[in-house]
Amino acid sequence: MDDLHELRRRIDEIDDQILNALCERAKVCKAVGAAKKRRGKPVRDLSRENELFKRIAVKGVEFGLDASQLKAVYREIVNMCSSVQE
């Protein structure tokens, strides 16, 4: 049982790291949104999003992760960050 407890504690630590990274990403995206607004550009940039999804898929495979699952996760992250930019 101690092993399970320790593994779950480690997962909690990783979740905290993920949340911190998402918070940092949201802050940067807010600045990107302000820059886009100053330049009169739209919030969504589909070519940039497609580049991101391709890059994440390649990197994910390098780490042994499923590309389609990562794309689904990143779609949610992009949606969240797009709403921060508005």
> In this predicted structure, what is the pLDDT of residue 82?
93
The CATH superfamily label for domain 2-85 reads Chorismate mutase (1.20.59.10)
Residue 70 CA, chain-centre distance (Å), reads 10
Domain ranges of the chain: 2-85
The overall pTM is greater than 0.85:
yes
User: What's the pLDDT tens digit per position in 29-51?
Assistant: 999 999 999 999 999 999 999 99
The set of residues, in sequence order, having a beta carbon less than 8 Å from that of 71 and lying 6+ positions away, is: 53, 56, 57
3-state secondary structure of 19: helix
Mean pLDDT of 5-15: 96
